Chains A and B, each alone.
Chain A
Amino acid sequence: MRLSSLGFSLGSMNAMMEQQSALAKLQNQVALGTRVSTPADDPIASVHILELQRAQSESEQFAKNSTLAQNRLSLEEQSMVDVGNVLTRVRELVVQAGNVGTLSNNDRASIATELAARLDELHDVANRQDGNGEYLFSGYSTKTRPFTGGDGTPISYIADQGSRQLAISTTQRVADSHNGFEVFVNIPEGNGTFATAVNMANTGSGAIDVGSVVNRANWVPDDYTITFTAPNTYQVTDGATPANVVSTGTYTPGSSVQFNGVSVTITGAPAAGDTFTVNQSRSEDIFTTIGDVVSMLRAPAGNAVANAKLASSLQGSLQQLDQATDHFLGVRAEIGVRLSTLDSTDATREAMDIDLAASLSDLRDLDYAQALTKMNQQLVGLQAAQLSYTKISGLSLFNYLS
């Protein structure tokens, strides 16, 4: 083919310029260490890179959320430890007060004083705040002091039943606290099925124990009353109006009264007209439980009738305290489960972070060995082009004309 001199020059120039721009691009990649610097370099990879970077940033936030949840749950766990310590002491005191016959009214009053102090301590724990001044046990209303009253007045829960959740992964959420209702208020009464009580207006010295469930299948939840029609006969009625008689029997001290699958034992000498209640289990807050013991111990006792009532009540309170201890252990277990969920999610997240970083590096980062090899090739190519151009363009027939 004919070659025009201008065409040869322009063609060689173009070729060299292309080599140069390829080199410049490689140099840019090497300098930045990245393979993809604009979406056009590799559209699919660049979309993946955006998504991976987004996932990394999201993961960082989840890690922060998780740390925060961990801090709050640890704080709550510490509170539950404190609650447990208080309850242990309270139980000791109640057991001590249970020696009804040997204690004087003064002894009981001093036990009551310490119990009242313990009650205040528990109240303080329930109203505990975190470092930001937010109440730990007030649900969503973290600026509301959840338990009002105290100092002898009834303590009641005025916050809500919410429980704040934090996102710890795209799908998982974990609650960072319990509300006061769940922890301190909603404690099952009695043995969880029913609770017994002696009527404070009784004139006899009959006492009732906490009872037990003999056959759960026969239990019909209701509020039952055991009424002594005579000192040695009783009847059990349910809560309907008018009341239905569920069972009747002859009373022998120390023998059990059984009806609807439950069994309670009455001791002492009840008088005709005395009543005992076997109510279906509801819930009782821990403050009421302790508060009741305090007021019971402050009331004077000494005679057989009063002692019987006190003994029955203290036995019920002891059962209620055990119930509460179990309940608090349940809450602590839940905190533990949440913390371990956080741990395992953290582990998963960390593994995923490594994956993300590896994928990102695969997509975005430059393979230096490859790039530098390519760069060397380009350099050799450019040098060869330059050298050959000067050699060939120097060749001209005119050189030989003289």
Chain B
Amino acid sequence: MADLLNTSISGLLAFQRALDTTSHNITNANTVGYSRQIAQFTTRQPQFIGGNWQGSGADVSSINRAYDNFLSSQSRSASSGFKQSETYATQAERVSNLFGNSTTGLTASMQQFVNSMQSVADTPNSIAARQTLLSQGQSLVDRLKSYDSSLRSFDAQVNASLGSEADAISSIAKGIAELNNQIKVGYSQTGSAPNDLLDQRDRLIDELATHVNVSVVKANDNSVNVFIGNGQPLVVGADAATMVATADPYEPTRKRLSMQSSVGTIDITNSLNGGTLGGVLQFRNEMLDPARNAIGRLSVALTDVMNEQHNAGMDLNGNLGGDFFSVGGVEVRANLNNAGNAGATVTRSDVGALTTSDYELVSTAGGWSMRRTDTGANVPMTGAGTAGNPFVADGLSIVVSGTPTTGDRLLIRPTAGAVNTMRMLVTNPADVAAAAPIAASATAGNNGNATITAGTVLNASDPALRTSATITFISPTQYQISGNPATFTYTPGADIDANGWRVQISGTPAAGDSFTVRDNSNGTGDNRNALLMSGLMSEGVLNNGTTSLSSAIGQFVGDVGVKTNQAQVTRDAQKVVATESQEAMQSVSGVNLDEEAANLLRYQQAYMAISQMIRVADTMFQSVLDAVR
């Protein structure tokens, strides 16, 4: 009888615990990161009674959580990947939207500038047309500057979010370290798994994975070690490292990420990937920096070609044109950790050879070496780095100064700072150099029928450019140019170059015929230079003269679009992967309410049945009592 009661009571207790577990499951059905728990029943130790092994009931031996390590690590890396691509895509979309508007975009501004230049060519004397040109030039500059400042503000946001990411990662790491400690204690005190603490820790690791890619290694004492980047330990047992946003050694306002631990502070920016942090860094490296440099390069090229042509023209007052635009120079920054005091003066010597990359100049035992920061490729330099013989590479001319110590580094940013200080130098409409400074004419009374072209300027700085010069034919096949005793052979239509100008004579000249190339200072109605300037945007300038400014803009916008589009496609693909792995994990760990309802019924019925057994035991005992009464 006693055994019957004992057996029944063991069942009651066991099913109570099972019901408790079910209730816990139902209650946590909507708790994120909760793993459903399962009460494991085992039979009690049997007793040897009357020559037989008699069963003595059931126990709940353990309460396990339904958890699959493989699925959860898969889900973490998938969510890391998804978060990175989502962050990148979101940021990239902002850049894409910035350049997307085709009516106010760069191409439209550039074309309006060209059109207003054509209007000046149509009516070179019109101050109104010239004023419109200046306004359009200013709005082109404003457009470039507004893009640059938007990109700068994105950069500032990147820096700010690197700081907040570092804080978030540090605080999660601290939480994991604390839980490690609690779990270790929990295990050692009871010998069984503290399921809910394990769930909490897993949830924190899941959250960490949305910030940065992690790898988790379980230790023997049931704590976990968490590594980020290239195996940098973030949490080891109960110790957590701190992530901090540190200043870039070249630029204090630019942030990088470092890990602070008992070992010291290590910059791990380049090894980080995955999660929102990885996305932000990817955005900065692949989109933001190249875009800023590309806008800078466009501005530099625009300024260069416009200035060169404008210098070769003549304004309404008869003066040679000055510079039209001005842009900021090449930025050179010395690394804060440099031991020597080396510096460099860098100028742009060939706009066509400029790239959109930044460069790092490293002092080596044998001198200096240069590498691109975007690809890391070494760039061969010619020259010696002196003022007389500067280093020349990728369109830059570099003069180094000071005394470097081997390993010292300088950062060269050829175009990043160009737009910020860009402005229009021509402010007076009369100063627009629409005319050419020289004009050629045939002498009235020439016997031959030869004609001369109006002439173009080859070298505006030639001191004799505007000095009147006469081309005299000493015979129908030979001519002389005043100021030069040499005799030249006449070829119809061939270039005749002198004093920085070029003309062509064609037809049949007679001996004694002459042509004059002289100053054009009355030529206020001349539009030759304006026509040349209006054609500049479609002339090959960039990439060694293969890409025109207008196609460079197209390429740039296309590049932004392609990158954003790729980021969106990657995001969508990663989302599917992340959702699927999440579902796979949920299918193991998640609570199904129907299942719990069934369990509830099952355990309740069992509980009621056992209660009935106690009644039976009681009745049996009463019958015995009644028998002896």
A residues contacting B by CB (< 8 A) are 1-7, 11, 14, 37-44, 46-47, 49-51, 53-54, 57-58, 60-62, 64-65, 68, 132, 134, 138-144, 157, 159-167, 170, 173, 181, 185-186, 221, 280, 282-283, 285, 396-398, 401
- The answer to whether B606 has its CB under 8 Å from any CB of chain A is no
Cα–Cα, bound, A37→B103 (Å): 11
Cα–Cα, bound, A166→B531 (Å): 8
A161 and B445 within 8 A (CB): no
Cα–Cα, bound, A185→B588 (Å): 101
Q: Mark B430-469, 1 if CB is under 8 A from A, else 0.
A: 0000010001111011110000001000000000000000
Q: B434 to nearest A CB, angstroms?
A: 10
Q: Could you list 19 A-B pairs, sorted by A, with CB under 8 Å? A: A4-B589, A4-B590, A6-B590, A38-B96, A38-B97, A39-B564, A44-B558, A50-B107, A50-B553, A53-B102, A68-B122, A141-B523, A143-B522, A167-B535, A186-B442, A186-B444, A285-B444, A397-B597, A401-B600
Q: A13 to nearest B CB, angstroms?
A: 11
Contact of B562 among A43, A157, A159, A221 (CB under 8 A): A43
Q: A39-B558, A40-B92, A181-B441 are in contact. Are A4 and B520 (CB under 8 A)?
A: no
B96 and A143 within 8 A (CB): no
B102 and A46 within 8 A (CB): yes
Cα–Cα, bound, A53→B100 (Å): 13
Contacts of B442 in A (CB 8 A): 161, 181, 186
Q: Which residue of A lies closest to B115 (CB)?
A: A61
Cα–Cα, bound, A157→B594 (Å): 107
B126 and A132 within 8 A (CB): yes
B526 and A165 within 8 A (CB): no
Q: A50 to nearest B CB, angstroms?
A: 4
A397 and B594 within 8 A (CB): yes
Q: A47-B561, A142-B125, A283-B445 are in contact. Are A162 and B553 (CB under 8 A)?
A: no
Contact of A162 among B115, B446, B523 (CB under 8 A): B523
- The answer to whether B326 has its CB under 8 Å from any CB of chain A is no
B122 and A64 within 8 A (CB): yes
Q: Which residue of B lies closest to A133 (CB)?
A: B125
Contacts of A163 in B (CB 8 A): 454
B100 and A46 within 8 A (CB): yes
- The answer to whether B230 has its CB under 8 Å from any CB of chain A is no
Cα–Cα, bound, A401→B531 (Å): 89
Contacts of B586 in A (CB 8 A): 4, 6-7
Contact of A140 among B525, B538, B598 (CB under 8 A): B525
Contacts of A44 in B (CB 8 A): 558
B526 and A7 within 8 A (CB): no
Cα–Cα, bound, A159→B520 (Å): 10
Q: Is the interface of B mostly helix, strand, loop or mixed?
A: helix
**Total A-B residue pairs with C-beta atoms closer than 8 Å?**
215
A4 and B591 within 8 A (CB): yes
Contacts of B555 in A (CB 8 A): 47
Contacts of B504 in A (CB 8 A): none
Q: A142-B125, A163-B454 are in contact. Are A54 and B111 (CB under 8 A)?
A: yes
Contacts of A173 in B (CB 8 A): 531
A397 and B598 within 8 A (CB): yes
Contacts of B262 in A (CB 8 A): none
Cα–Cα, bound, A186→B115 (Å): 36
- The answer to whether B482 has its CB under 8 Å from any CB of chain A is no
A54 and B108 within 8 A (CB): yes
Contacts of A185 in B (CB 8 A): 444
Instruction: Tell me the chain B residues, 2-40 only, with Cβ under 8 Å from chain A.
Output: 29-30, 32, 36
Q: A40-B565, A47-B557, A140-B435 are in contact. Are A160 and B108 (CB under 8 A)?
A: no
- The answer to whether B42 has its CB under 8 Å from any CB of chain A is no
Cα–Cα, bound, A41→B93 (Å): 10
B593 and A396 within 8 A (CB): yes
- The answer to whether B118 has its CB under 8 Å from any CB of chain A is yes
Contacts of B590 in A (CB 8 A): 2-7
Q: Which residue of B lies closest to A186 (CB)?
A: B444
Contacts of B30 in A (CB 8 A): 5-6
